[in-house]
Chain A
Amino acid sequence: MGRIENHPILGASPEGKLVTFYYNGKPMEGMEGEPIMAALKVNGVMVHRYTAKTHEPRGVFCAIGRCTDCVMVVDGKPNIRTCITPLKAGMKVETQYGVSAKEA
Chain B
Amino acid sequence: MDIRRYDMIVIGAGPAGLSAAIEAAKHGVKPIVFDENARPGGQLFKQIHKFFGSKEHKAKIRGFKIGEELLAEAEKFGVEVVLNATVVGLYPDKEVTVKIGEEIQHFKGDSILVATGASENMVNFKGWTLPGVIGAGAAQTMMNLHHILPGKKVLMLGSGNVGLVVSFQLMQAGCEVVALCDAAPRIGGYGVHAAKVARCGVPFYLSHTIIEAEGDEYVTGVTIGEVGPDWKIIPGTEKHFDVDTICLAVGLSPMSQLLDQAGCQMKDTRGGFVPACDAEGQTSVPGIYAAGDVSGIEEASSAMIEGRISGITIAEYLGFAEKEEKESRISELEAQLDTLRQGMFAPANRGKKIEKTEEGIAISENLLVKGFVSDEEIGRFPGVTKQRKIHPVMECTQNIPCNPCQDACKRGCISIGSNITSLPVVDKEHECIGCGLCVASCSGQAIFLVEEDVEPGYGEVTMPYEFMPLPVVGEKGIACGRDGKAVCDCEVTKVRTSPAFDHTNLLTIKVPNDMLMKARFYRAKKEAAYD
Number of B residues near A (Cβ < 8 Å) is 39
Task: Let me know if B37 is at the binding interface, CB within 8 A.
Answer: yes
Q: Looking at the complex, which one of B218, B466, B468 makes contact with A47 (CB distance below 8 Å)? A: B218
Which one of A8, A35, A46, A48 lies within 8 Å of B466 (CB-CB)?
A8
A72 at the interface (CB under 8 A from B): no
Q: B173: CB under 8 A from chain A?
A: yes
Kindly specify which of B142-150, B369-377, B418-426, B517-525 makes contact with the partner chain. Answer: B142-150
Binary flags per residue of A50-92, CB closer than 8 Å to B gives 1, else 0: 0000001111111111100100000000000001101000000
A4 pairs with B149, CB closer than 8 A = yes
Query: In the assembly, what is the distance between CA of A13 and CA of B147, in Å?
Result: 6
Of A7, A34, A56, the most chain B CB neighbours within 10 A belong to A7
Cβ of A2 under 8 Å from chain B:
yes
Q: How far is the CA of A5 from the CA of B309 in the complex (A)?
A: 41
| Contact status A62-B135, CB under 8 Å | yes
From 132 to 146 in chain B, residues with beta carbon under 8 angstroms from any chain A beta carbon are 132-135, 137-138, 141-144, 146
What is the bound-complex CA distance between A37 and B101, given in angstroms? 21
Inter-chain contact B172/A46, CB cutoff 8 Å: no
Contact pattern, B 141-163, Cβ under 8 Å of A = 1, otherwise 0: 11110111111100000000000
- B512 an interface residue at 8 Å Cβ cutoff? no
Indicate which residue in B119, B148, B216 contacts A42 across the interface (CB closer than 8 Å). Answer: B148
Q: Is A14 in contact with chain B by the CB < 8 A criterion?
A: yes
A54 and B38 alpha carbons, distance in the complex (Å): 34
Q: Does B48 lie at the interface of the complex (its beta carbon under 8 Å from any beta carbon of A)?
A: yes
Note all chain A residues with C-beta closer than 8 A to B37.
Answer: 64-65, 84
Distance in angstroms between the alpha carbons of A70 and B244 in the assembled complex:
17
Most chain B CB within a 10 A radius of its CB, from A9, A34, A60: A9
CB distance from B175 to the nearest CB of A (A): 9
Q: Does B132 lie within 8 Å of A46, measured CB to CB?
A: yes
Contact B138 A4 (CB under 8 A): no
Given known pairs A46-B132, A46-B217, A63-B142, the reply for A1 and B172 (CB within 8 Å) is no
A59-B137 in contact (CB<8A): no
Q: Which residues of A contact B120 (CB under 8 A)?
A: 62
Say yes or no: is A10 at the interface (Cβ < 8 Å to chain B). yes
Q: Chain B's nearest CB lies how many Å from the CB of A19?
A: 15
A38 at the interface (CB under 8 A from B): yes
| Bound: A7/B143 CA distance, A | 9
A58 vs B127: C-alpha distance in the bound complex, in angstroms? 11
Residues of B within 8 A of A1 (CB): 148-152, 244
List of B residues within 8 angstroms of A56 by Cβ: 129
A61 touches B218 (CB 8 A): no
Give the most central of A2, A14, A86: most B CB within 10 Å.
A2
Interface residues in A, total, Cβ within 8 A: 34
Chain B hits for A66, CB < 8 A: 119
Q: How far is the CA of A14 from the CA of B144 in the complex (A)?
A: 12
Q: Whole-angstrom distance between the alpha carbons of A7 and B142 in the complex?
A: 13
Q: Does any Cβ of A come within 8 Å of B131's Cβ?
A: yes
A64 in complex: contacting residue of B131, B137, B149, B466, CB < 8 Å: B137
Q: A47, B217: Cβ atoms under 8 Å?
A: yes
A18 to chain B, nearest CB (A): 14
Whether A9 and B138, one on each chain, are in contact in the complex, defined by CB atoms closer than 8 angstroms, is no
Would you give the 0/1 interface string for A1-37, flagging 1 where the beta carbon is closer than 8 Å to chain B?
1111011111001100000000000000000001100
- From B216, which residue of chain A is reached at the shortest CB distance? A57
Once A4-B174, A9-B62 are accepted as A-B contacts, the answer to whether A60 and B131 lie under 8 Å apart by CB is yes
**CA distance in complex: A6, B468 (Å):** 8
Nearest residue, chain B, Cβ from A13: B147
- Alpha-carbon distance A35/B147, docked complex (angstroms): 11
**A57 interface neighbour in B142, B152, B218, Cβ under 8 Å:** B218
Contact flag A63-B147 (CB < 8 Å), given A9-B503, A41-B142, A84-B38? no
User: Which A residues are CB-close (under 8 A) to B62?
Assistant: 9
Structural contact, B142 and A38, CB atoms closer than 8 A: yes
The interface residues of chain A lying within 8 Å CB-to-CB of B491 are none
Q: Please name all residues of chain A whose beta carbon is closer than 8 Å to the beta carbon of B146 when the two chains form the complex.
A: 34-35, 38
| 5 additional contacts (CB under 8 A) given A8-B470, A57-B217 | A8-B468, A9-B466, A34-B146, A62-B137, A65-B36
Interchain residue pairs A-B with the least CB separation, the first 8: A59-B131, A63-B138, A13-B147, A46-B218, A46-B131, A63-B141, A38-B146, A1-B149
Sample of 27 A–B contacts (CB below 8 Å): A1-B148, A1-B149, A1-B150, A2-B148, A3-B149, A4-B147, A4-B173, A4-B174, A7-B173, A8-B467, A10-B144, A14-B147, A38-B146, A41-B142, A46-B132, A57-B216, A57-B218, A58-B129, A59-B132, A60-B138, A61-B135, A62-B137, A63-B142, A64-B37, A69-B129, A83-B138, A84-B38
